[in-house]
Chains A and B, each alone.
Chain A
């Protein structure tokens, strides 16, 4: 069977996902064409050789609608023979794009595929696409819908992670993210975003607060307490987890992932296609998995996805040198470390989305890129990236350096 090799992984810096953010003036299509153009330029890529451009986008409406993957390939000036597809696996869309690309390549049906994602959360806010899950009474009733933040608080309540535990995790995320930038760990993969005049708009992740402390974070109000108590969501959560008397609302803007704008792209192909295009393989994708987990608690999927991927790879968790789990909410990572017994110094070692932000559709490919860079820096052989996902899913990918 063909192997799926990773040749390169790049991303934009992440801009604050508000009208005050540095990337707010940049259209989502432009974020995406930016990384596609850079990928082409770096490798002098003959884009006619690219079979497909697979892009994750979680809110594919408005200016992110109409198959933004193909639109961006055209807008980037790529050969029209490169196809394009947009997918949505909520928060893991970017990693799902990587896995789909790897599946295409390993099946032998395609040879060179670009995967990644885009989300301008400042321009197309989360939830703009609505959907039946929360809104349709029949569906919301049957699936016991609650918003993710309540699920994260439910995880914290069920497994006893306190506000202090979550804030302490956040302090460390900011510290690690700041240190990683300071040491230049991200330098080769982050592509500055420029305006039409070529003036720089953003070259670094914008949300990091290196001076975050227990004190500064402790002053923040819980994000989901009012919503949970006043609009029935706590009650619905408890209906599914009746062992809980009351939801402890521990998550705040300070220990949850930041809302940001950004895009990512990863070049994946067979070894032969790489050779033909003059590309050096950096890693191979050993295994990938997407699983479903209980939807109301929603965010416990990563451990199950990781275990499934490890099983498919014939590996055990001891075989993984470095872990990346998207920092959607602090309790999600705390629970993952608890259930898989992973020490903090092996996971999210460069910080994560609590400090740098989570541009939904793009994040999966971003954290896989960070993982690969860091594996190379440390001389680590194996890494696993995973994300928790809306509606109760998990997606994981295992890579191995070559």
Chain B
């Protein structure tokens, strides 16, 4: 049972419990681990020779948190078991840690590496916390990021340690701290060089200061800054905090609310009761939809994508010393920055030197910002900039390892560039086009090596957006795919892999959101209501804002290009006349010309263009649909398109749609992504709701045949989701 925790007692009676789970790169908390920890603690408690206990790890990290990959079965159990039984299981870890801090022997945690979630909760249950002096150590409670609250005392011990007001942001944002910041926050006691870590822990344990009692178990204990429903500080914190959180989460994230409740309710009662309250909230989240969906997409499947799960295994790993970046516009400049910041030399080519230099200027601006904010040293910044080589002559591309093309979205221009570049690059070099909508197979026609031609679609702003969408054209070979995935990994982007099609997955998917918002406008829904419906549904911005960001004229050009390419087969949607009215008739192109659905004053906030109400007069209030229906339309319009992508083979796996939808476009993260949303609603019910929407709003809501087939067979997109329901 204790095979993952070794036990050694030295001559001074200090027992060292070293956590080192076999066969794992990091220690993670699961039921077996908890049982092992309990046994090790009991052994130390029962061992009369033991005067003090050190907890540390045998790996480079301390304990990385809960075993989220193994959690799917735990969630299934939590959902199906009777509540009392499930609570008992959840409480076990809490009780083991409570035993540790009340066993009568002082315990010190030697934080040798990252201690997150359950890992830091172990540390919090020790009477003393000393961390190694390393910037790479991460300390914190990131549970909220996967829809959970801390479940083993994080919400109880942290506010008792440092006060409610400083504790809330740590818990609600789930940010990681360096040891230095954790010490400044009062979460740990001491920082020492890694080599002295155990000695420092032992020094404290053998000092007169070593008390085997936590502050909150002292009779005179009071929560720093006050707690409870009558304490003025605490009350003010919660009144403002509740509203700020509801404002930010739009009520879509039960974990954030649970954390607030755990802290509010738990800090005004004795800690044992507080821990029980926390465990109940934790369990309620495990039994809900949000946590399982977020864990699956944002942790498990994102992690698989980052490890290049879709990479053809036979191709040897590619290295990138230098890449060629064609086009130094907004996208090209930002891609060049990202590559250079990951140590890759970039030849940044544009039509003239001025344009190429301007592209490098983007990187310079970011570097200067980072240096002035002391997030980057001057030397590192200069080295980064030195890796970007502006150029005009394509000959400079002769020795690059990869080509990314981000020139003007025009088939002829792209074809010309392709030919000229292929004339100078080495034959095996992959050519990746960063087109946002043009089919890769068509662009590859200009290539003499279509097997090396692929789509590598970045998202703006590239330095912030974590996704790349990799598009396989008809002729794209396995090697090109493998190399492009390697590049994504080298520049720390999460890749999804999709098949070719107009707008691939992400662009057409995002277009459905914008179009639905524009169509609502034509129905007389007030513009503010459309925008707020988007935000309430969990989208980062409303559909009209997004239209302004991507530019209305771009939407119009895509429409024209699609019409030209498809001819009679093209069926424009009801949003096209809106783009025509806005852009063609009123010259409103979006944020880029300061005039779109919004006005963008030089100073101050954007606001909805008052002229909208004349073009699309709002209906009277009694005729407005419910906000719930608007939210549903905005989400389902996208979810249906994701399903159509599955049906058409653009998406070959639901996780690409979910990871891509959330990480590329910010699709409501609490849903776990568009496909997870369909599974969560349940396919039969989703079909029923879509049929009702189709009857009211048009054929775009008609459920695809794939859904009907799946419903007939009782299938779901993710096998586990039904078992867990």
Closest Cβ of chain A to B233, distance in Å, is 12
Within 8 A of B (CB), among A192-242: 231-236, 238-239, 242
Q: Which residues of chain A have C-beta atoms less than 8 A from B247's C-beta?
A: 232-236, 239
Q: A232-B243, A232-B248 are in contact. Are A137 and B624 (CB under 8 A)?
A: no
Per-position contact with B for A236-257: 1 when CB-CB < 8 Å, else 0?
1011001111100000000000
Q: Which residues of chain A have C-beta atoms less than 8 A from B300's C-beta?
A: none
Q: Which of A132, A242, A245, A246 has the most CB of B within 10 A?
A: A242
> Would A238 and B242 count as touching, CB distance under 8 A?
no
Q: Which residues of chain A have C-beta atoms less than 8 A from B246's C-beta?
A: 140-141, 144, 232, 235-236, 239
> Would A137 and B529 count as touching, CB distance under 8 A?
no
- Contacts A134-B242, A137-B257, A232-B247 aside, 20 further interface pairs with beta carbons under 8 A come to A135-B235, A135-B242, A137-B241, A137-B245, A141-B246, A141-B251, A144-B246, A145-B243, A232-B240, A232-B246, A235-B243, A239-B246, A239-B250, A242-B528, A242-B533, A242-B627, A243-B621, A243-B624, A245-B528, A245-B607
> Would A141 and B242 count as touching, CB distance under 8 A?
yes
> Would A242 and B243 count as touching, CB distance under 8 A?
no
CB-nearest residue of chain A relative to B257? Answer: A141
Per-position contact with B for A112-154: 1 when CB-CB < 8 Å, else 0?
0000000000000000001110111110110011100000000
Q: Which residues of chain A have C-beta atoms less than 8 A from B240's C-beta?
A: 231-232
Judge whether B84 is part of the interface by a CB distance below 8 angstroms. no
Closest Cβ of chain B to A341, distance in Å, is 18
Q: Which residues of chain B have C-beta atoms less than 8 A from A232's C-beta?
A: 240, 243-248
Would you give 6 A-B contacts (Cβ < 8 Å), ordered by A? A132-B229, A135-B239, A140-B239, A233-B243, A235-B248, A244-B528
Cα-based distance from A137 to B527 in the complex (angstroms): 31
Q: Which residues of chain A have C-beta atoms less than 8 A from B529's C-beta?
A: 242-243
CB-nearest residue of chain A relative to B238? Answer: A135
> Would A137 and B260 count as touching, CB distance under 8 A?
yes
CB-nearest residue of chain A relative to B532? Answer: A242
Cα-based distance from A239 to B250 in the complex (angstroms): 7
Closest Cβ of chain B to A62, distance in Å, is 11
Q: Which residues of chain A have C-beta atoms less than 8 A from B531's C-beta?
A: 245
Taking a contact as CB atoms closer than 8 A, the residue among B230, B261, B532 that contacts A137 in the complex is: B261
Q: Which of B235, B238, B246, B247 has the most CB of A within 10 A?
A: B246
Q: Which residues of chain A have C-beta atoms less than 8 A from B261's C-beta?
A: 136-138
Cα-based distance from A137 to B171 in the complex (angstroms): 15
Judge whether B519 is part of the interface by a CB distance below 8 angstroms. no
Cα-based distance from A244 to B529 in the complex (angstroms): 7
Q: Which residues of chain B have C-beta atoms less than 8 A from A239's C-beta?
A: 246-247, 250-251, 532, 536
Per-position contact with A for B220-262: 1 when CB-CB < 8 Å, else 0?
0000000001100001001111111111101100000100110
Q: A231-B243, A232-B240 are in contact. Are A245 and B230 (CB under 8 A)?
A: no
On chain A, the number of residues with a Cβ less than 8 Å from chain B's Cβ atoms is: 26
Q: Which residues of A contact B (CB under 8 A)?
A: 130-132, 134-138, 140-141, 144-146, 231-236, 238-239, 242-246
Judge whether B590 is part of the interface by a CB distance below 8 angstroms. no
Cα-based distance from A232 to B250 in the complex (angstroms): 11
Q: Which of B243, B527, B607, B608 has the most CB of A within 10 A?
A: B243
Cα-based distance from A136 to B267 in the complex (angstroms): 12
Q: A232-B248, A245-B608 are in contact. Are A140 and B242 (CB under 8 A)?
A: yes
Q: A137-B260, A242-B529 are in contact. Are A145 and B242 (CB under 8 A)?
A: yes
Judge whether B62 is part of the interface by a CB distance below 8 angstroms. no
> Would B243 and A130 count as touching, CB distance under 8 A?
no
Per-position contact with A for B244-284: 1 when CB-CB < 8 Å, else 0?
11111011000001001100110000000000000000000
> Would B243 and A238 count as touching, CB distance under 8 A?
no
> Would A137 and B243 count as touching, CB distance under 8 A?
no
CB-nearest residue of chain B relative to A136? Answer: B264
Q: Which residues of chain B have C-beta atoms less than 8 A from A236's C-beta?
A: 243, 246-247
Closest Cβ of chain B to A298, distance in Å, is 14
Within 8 A of A (CB), among B380-396: none
Q: Which of A134, A238, A245 has the most CB of B within 10 A?
A: A245
Q: Which residues of chain B have C-beta atoms less than 8 A from A136's C-beta?
A: 229, 238, 261, 264-265
Closest Cβ of chain A to B613, distance in Å, is 11
Cα-based distance from A145 to B238 in the complex (angstroms): 12
Cα-based distance from A137 to B624 in the complex (angstroms): 31
Cα-based distance from A239 to B246 in the complex (angstroms): 9
Closest Cβ of chain A to B376, distance in Å, is 31
Judge whether B661 is part of the interface by a CB distance below 8 angstroms. no
Within 8 A of A (CB), among B192-234: 229-230
Judge whether B517 is part of the interface by a CB distance below 8 angstroms. no
Closest Cβ of chain A to B259, distance in Å, is 9
Q: Which residues of chain A have C-beta atoms less than 8 A from B533's C-beta?
A: 242
Q: Which residues of chain B have C-beta atoms less than 8 A from A130's C-beta?
A: 229-230, 235
> Would A138 and B251 count as touching, CB distance under 8 A?
no
Cα-based distance from A141 to B531 in the complex (angstroms): 22
Closest Cβ of chain B to A142, distance in Å, is 9
Closest Cβ of chain B to A362, distance in Å, is 25
Q: A135-B229, A243-B526 are in contact. Are A140 and B243 (CB under 8 A)?
A: yes
Pairs of residues from A and B, 8 with the lowest C-beta to C-beta distance, nearest first: A235-B247, A232-B247, A242-B532, A137-B260, A232-B244, A232-B243, A140-B242, A245-B528
Per-position contact with A for B611-632: 1 when CB-CB < 8 Å, else 0?
0000000100100100100000
CB-nearest residue of chain B relative to A132? Answer: B229
